[in-house]
């Protein structure tokens, strides 16, 4: 496709965009009285306009029904989380029974590692990527120490090659094979938060299984962004936050996946609680835990329905549109954004180096050679909401639900006016 860096062309792309109307279903901050160009859906998605009604429904039920809202509300609270399964499963490529929503991302990873990191004297090492998101680093190191092991010995990091900005799949496979029978777990970020690279999750999962390890994925930057086939890839477990591309609200409840092969097992190591107990017998207050026959067996406490409500609202939009349509627009709008950056660099004699490889989702990570935080602050002051990562990277994530091609053109003009 031959892109053009003109307002008319950008508007033409918007007119052809089958998702153009969805921009009107989100609320935008304003700078200088004008709606911002929002590039930080990879950090916090915008608020869907329907979210308020979903929250208000629960507030009203609480006021009018009090405790009876658990069973008498239009969407009863006691099984509120079950409404997510059918809507969420297609987003992550799972069977409905394999997904649930609970807690927050790192909490869920800790709970899942109770089941899937079971080190022995022979098999105790975890393979992960270097410079993973800090929360993952802290979580895995603390899990290793909890088992009486030394993180320096038990955690094996796959590194990028010198001078390269992205990981090579062959290097990850080689490292897993090298660790071999000592590998208890492969746990990585499906989309790297810094460079925006989408890892070859299918190939890496297969490599982990070949050495007899469990394989899990942190999908914080993947869920709602890239195509996932967790069931088909035979992933053991995964977890993701919901407030980035899935627009559920700041710090909101997270999702997790447990492959169906682990369902219905009473003897699997697991931290257990009331809400993971057999739903039909939950209120009999029995002393012995009987797990739900699905991923809900990993639930511990009753659902925080006020937190879940915006997530459910957003999932209605995902269900309407479907991941294939979002991915189709994502590919086109990200390509157009990269084109705009290249064209502006030619005009102003700048050097904007995109370090995100072609295996990408919505995010472009860009080195601002010769430019520091001054350009970042200028963009923010002029209504472009972006993200800065040290030492000199801006992350741009044009979420297909609410970003337009005209946004991409106008972003380029704002940069151009800086020089």
Q: What is the pLDDT of residue 389?
A: 85
pLDDT above 90 for 274: yes
Residue 241: pLDDT band (50, 70, 90) is very high
What size, in residues, is the chain?
A: 419
Nearest CA among 293, 260, 298, 272 for reference residue 112: 298
All residues at 6 or more sequence positions from 154 whose CB lies less than 8 Å from its CB, including other chains: 119, 124, 125, 126, 144
**What CA–CA distance (Å, rounded) separates 22 from 364?**
22
- CATH number for 7-48+322-418: choose from 1.25.40.10, 3.40.50.620, 3.10.20.30, 3.90.1150.10: 3.90.1150.10
Domain(s) of CATH 3.90.1150.10: residues in the chain: 7-48+322-418
End-to-end CA separation in angstroms for the chain: 29
Residue 305: pLDDT band (50, 70, 90) is very high
CB 351, CB 339: distance < 8 Å:
no
pLDDT above 90 for 391: no
pLDDT above 90 for 369: no
Mean pLDDT in residue range 362-391:
89
pLDDT above 80 for 301: yes
Q: Tell me the percentage of the chain whose pLDDT exceeds 70.
A: 100
53-321 — its CATH code? 3.40.640.10
pLDDT above 90 for 392: no
Pairing of the two strands 125-129 and 155-158: parallel
Mean pLDDT in residue range 232-259:
97
Average pLDDT over all residues of the chain? 96
pLDDT tens across 33-91, in order? 999 999 999 999 999 999 999 999 999 999 999 999 999 999 999 999 999 999 999 99
Using alpha carbons, list the distances in angstroms from residue 96 to 222, 226, 270, 280: 18, 19, 21, 19
Q: What is the pLDDT of residue 349?
A: 83
Domain(s) of CATH 3.40.640.10: residues in the chain: 53-321
| 3-state secondary structure labels for all residues of 340-408 | HHHHHHHHHCCEEEECCCCCECCCEEEEEECCCHHHHHHHHHCCEECEEECCCEEEEECCCCCCCHHHH
Burial of 143 (0-12, 13-18, 19+ CB in 10 A): buried
Tell me the whole-structure pTM to 2 decimals. Answer: 0.96
Q: What is the pLDDT of residue 15?
A: 98
All residues at 6 or more sequence positions from 419 whose CB lies less than 8 Å from its CB, including other chains: 348, 349, 350
pLDDT tens across 105-120, in order? 999 999 999 999 999 9
Mean pLDDT in residue range 355-369:
94
Residue 324: pLDDT band (50, 70, 90) is very high
Q: Which residues pair with 157 in a beta bridge?
A: 128
**In sequence order, what DSSP letters do the residues of 253-303 get, joined into one string?**
-EEEEE-GGGTT-SSS-----GGGB-GGGGGG--SS--B-SSGGGG--S--
Pairing of the two strands 254-258 and 351-354: unpaired
CB 362, CB 222: distance < 8 Å:
no
What the block records as the tokens of 25 is 């279903």
């Amino acid at each position: 496709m031959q892109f053009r860096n003109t307002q008319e062309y950008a508007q033409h792309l918007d007119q052809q965009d089958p998702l153009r109307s969805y921009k009107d279903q989100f609320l935008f901050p304003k700078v200088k009285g004008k709606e911002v160009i929002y590039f930080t859906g990879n950090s916090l998605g915008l608020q869907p306009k329907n979210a308020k009604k979903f929250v208000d429904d629960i507030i009203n039920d609480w006021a009018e029904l009090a405790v009876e809202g658990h069973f008498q509300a239009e969407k009863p609270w006691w099984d509120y989380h079950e409404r997510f399964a059918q809507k969420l499963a297609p987003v992550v490529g799972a069977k409905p029974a394999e997904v649930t929503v609970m807690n927050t991302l790192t909490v869920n990873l800790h709970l899942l590692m109770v089941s899937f990191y079971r080190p022995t004297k022979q098999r105790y090492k975890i393979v992960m990527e270097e410079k993973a998101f800090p929360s993952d680093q802290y979580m895995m190191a603390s899990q290793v120490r909890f088992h009486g092991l030394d993180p320096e010995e038990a955690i094996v990091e796959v590194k990028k090659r010198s001078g390269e900005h992205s990981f090579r799949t062959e290097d990850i496979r080689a490292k897993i094979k090298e660790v071999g029978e000592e590998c208890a777990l492969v746990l990585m970020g499906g989309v790297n938060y810094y460079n925006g690279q989408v890892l070859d999750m299918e190939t890496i999962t297969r490599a982990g299984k070949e050495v007899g390890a469990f394989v899990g994925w942190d999908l914080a930057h993947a869920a709602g962004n890239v195509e996932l086939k967790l069931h088909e890839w035979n992933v053991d477990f995964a977890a993701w936050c919901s407030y980035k591309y899935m627009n559920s609200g700041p710090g909101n409840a997270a999702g997790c996946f447990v492959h169906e092969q682990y369902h219905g097992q009473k003897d699997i190591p697991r931290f257990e609680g009331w809400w993971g107990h057999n739903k039909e017998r939950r209120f009999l207050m029995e002393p012995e835990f009987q797990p739900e026959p699905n991923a809900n067996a990993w639930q511990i406490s009753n659902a925080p329905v006020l937190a879940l409500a915006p997530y459910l609202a957003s999932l209605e939009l995902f269900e309407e549109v479907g991941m294939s349509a979002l991915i189709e627009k994502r590919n086109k709008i990200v390509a157009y954004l990269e084109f705009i950056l290249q064209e502006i660099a030619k005009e102003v004699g700048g050097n904007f180096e995109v370090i995100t490889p072609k295996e990408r989702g919505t995010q472009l990570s860009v080195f601002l050679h010769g430019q520091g935080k001054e350009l970042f602050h200028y963009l923010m002051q002029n209504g472009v909401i972006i993200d800065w990562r040290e030492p000199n990277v801006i992350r741009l994530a044009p979420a297909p639900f609410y970003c337009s091609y005209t946004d991409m053109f106008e972003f380029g003009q704002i940069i151009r006016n800086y020089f």
